[in-house]
A = this chain, B = another copy of it.
Amino acid sequence: MKRYETLAAEVAAAIAAGLFAPGQRLPSIRQASRDRGVSPSTVFEAYSRLEAQGLVEVRPRSGWYVTAVAPPRPPEPERRSAPDGEARPVTTGELVFSLLASTMRRDVVPLGSAFPDPALFPHARLAGELARAGRRLGADPRAAGDDLTPGSLALRRQIALRYAAAGARVDPEAIVVTNGALEALNLCIAAICRPGDTVIVESPCFYACLQVLARHGLHALEVATDPRTGVDLEALEVAILRHRPAAAWVMTDFQNPLGASMDAAKKQALVALASRHRLPLIEDAVYADLHDGPRPVSTKAFDGEGWVLHCGSFSKTLAPGWRVGWCAPGRFAREVAQQKLAASLATNVPAQLGIAAWLEHGSFERHLRRLRATLAEWRERYRQRVQAHFPAGTRIGRPGGGYFLWIELPEQVDVMALQRAAMARGISLSPGPMFSASAGFTHHLRMNCGYRPDARVAEAIAVLGDLAAL
């Protein structure tokens, strides 16, 4: 991505987020050039691009302004889910397995995919890090042993530094490196829960969460969740008191599939609630680095008592397919490390060393800045396209980061039928029932906006809109 494209994407995201209101004047070219440390011609290119997109307009002898008449935004999905309060075993495995297989096919438009476009990542330069890591192992073969469970200390130090930037103090020695966040979450569940236990989940929740509960013989208890602000804390406390769950599994930043995020005050209240009830809080934080605005504070910042088992990953932010994630398990560090040892012994050592080196060089934040701006811009373009083509009454989420849109279609739409019709046209989507142990969300879907919104994507969204209107 060129520099002016990055800048244009950032300004577009700021407009989308309402940081610049319609009719508001943008910073002058000279001022923006100074503020951003880029050349005036870069700013000019960026503003021209936004003008071509209709987002800004030039007023001669005055400057650049946000286009006054912005299209009205569709409403967001309903304020809060209302699950039935029953804990139940999970039976969505086959559905999810077959849907996932379809999203991986290259000939399918990946609106149902869980991954961002692999073209967004610096594979070739990362390959150089892998080679250097391998050569270092050649020079000092016994070093490989140093980086087995719980993982490379160099990498764990870098992860701890990232926690520090998010306001949390985490001891590198207490971090366990894992095969992606998904293994981390499995290890947390295995460390804490026994078969038959109940685990609190969001409603809707990430389908992999349900799969993990299923493979450990656990019951899922869905609690009311707000599409903007996440789990309802009152409903959570009622569920804790009624069901004595073994753990709660949450995503507090850009929740999958809703895009919901908690602010710092709510995170603090959530951690306080968990600590008060001595409830392990398993957090899937894989989208936390993909924020449009300022970096969110981590729940770990409030976790003095260590009840938060915080799981992250580089799969969505740097190195897809490398399967390097981690867990900061708080008071459960030893149990999680033991689970790791028995589950898969260790994580690929060259990949750990390669990522550690990349983080040490400081190239990660630069890469992330570009990635965030791109995803924010793409998400906005998907949103506009959905708004233009989906039936009246459609509601679209407005997440502050990540690359998913949660879409609520008119009630009469059967999203499972829509999924089959779309698949027949070569378009994947993730229907609402994937995200619920009680098969709810029958007229909802999650749309991936992490692939370049090219003509094929635009056409696919239009086709989906037509199919949904039938």
Question: 24 interchain pairs (CB within 8 A)?
Answer: A104-B148, A118-B142, A123-B134, A123-B137, A123-B138, A123-B141, A124-B135, A126-B134, A127-B130, A127-B131, A127-B134, A127-B138, A128-B131, A128-B134, A130-B131, A131-B131, A144-B320, A144-B321, A145-B321, A179-B183, A182-B343, A182-B344, A208-B345, A322-B348
Task: Give chain B residues whose Cβ lies under 8 Å from the Cβ of A81.
Answer: none
Residue A446 is within 8 A (CB to CB) of chain B in the complex? no
Q: Which residue of B has the minimal Cβ distance to A121?
A: B141
How many Å from the CB of A142 to the closest CB on chain B? 6
Give the interface size class of chain A.
35 or more
Task: Give chain B residues whose Cβ lies under 8 Å from the Cβ of A321.
Answer: 137, 144-145, 147-148, 346, 348-350
Task: Give chain B residues whose Cβ lies under 8 Å from the Cβ of A424.
Answer: none
Residue A119 is within 8 A (CB to CB) of chain B in the complex? yes
Task: Give chain B residues whose Cβ lies under 8 Å from the Cβ of A117.
Answer: 141
In-complex Cβ contact of A341 among B97, B128, B139, B347 (8 A): B97
Residue A69 is within 8 A (CB to CB) of chain B in the complex? no
In-complex Cβ contact of A215 among B144, B214, B339 (8 A): B339
Residue A46 is within 8 A (CB to CB) of chain B in the complex? no
**Chain A residues at the B interface, C-beta cutoff of 8 Å:** 93, 97, 100, 104, 106, 115, 117-119, 121-124, 126-128, 130-135, 137-139, 141-142, 144-148, 178-180, 182-183, 186, 190, 194-195, 208, 211-212, 214-215, 217, 320-324, 338-339, 341-351
Q: Contacts A135-B127, A194-B217, A195-B217; is A145 near B115 (CB within 8 Å)? A: yes
Task: Give chain B residues whose Cβ lies under 8 Å from the Cβ of A126.
Answer: 134
Q: Which residue of B has the minimal Cβ distance to A351?
A: B348
Task: Give chain B residues whose Cβ lies under 8 Å from the Cβ of A121.
Answer: 141
Q: Which residue of B has the minimal Cβ distance to A217?
A: B195
Q: Which residue of B has the minimal Cβ distance to A117?
A: B141
Q: Which 6 A-B pairs have the closest CB atoms?
A: A127-B134, A124-B138, A118-B141, A131-B131, A321-B349, A123-B138
In-complex Cβ contact of A106 among B115, B124, B146, B212 (8 A): B146
Main secondary structure of the interface of A (DSSP, over half): helix
A344 and B323 contact, CB distance less than 8 A? yes
B338 and A350 contact, CB distance less than 8 A? no
Task: Give chain B residues whose Cβ lies under 8 Å from the Cβ of A145.
Answer: 104, 106, 115, 118, 321
Task: Give chain B residues whose Cβ lies under 8 Å from the Cβ of A123.
Answer: 134-135, 137-138, 141, 144
B341 and A100 contact, CB distance less than 8 A? yes
How many Å from the CB of A348 to the closest CB on chain B? 4
**Complex: how many Å from CA A208 to CA B146?**
20
**Complex: how many Å from CA A124 to CA B144?**
13
**Complex: how many Å from CA A190 to CA B117?**
32
Task: Give chain B residues whose Cβ lies under 8 Å from the Cβ of A148.
Answer: 104, 321
**Complex: how many Å from CA A410 to CA B374?**
70
B131 and A344 contact, CB distance less than 8 A? no
Task: Give chain B residues whose Cβ lies under 8 Å from the Cβ of A100.
Answer: 341
Task: Give chain B residues whose Cβ lies under 8 Å from the Cβ of A142.
Answer: 106, 118-119
Looking at A142, A341, A342, the one whose CB has the most chain B CB atoms below 10 A away is A342
**Complex: how many Å from CA A201 to CA B281?**
36
Task: Give chain B residues whose Cβ lies under 8 Å from the Cβ of A122.
Answer: 138
B339 and A180 contact, CB distance less than 8 A? no
Q: Which residue of B has the minimal Cβ distance to A103?
A: B145
How many Å from the CB of A181 to the closest CB on chain B? 9
How many Å from the CB of A148 to the closest CB on chain B? 7
Q: Which residue of B has the minimal Cβ distance to A191?
A: B215
A338 and B135 contact, CB distance less than 8 A? no
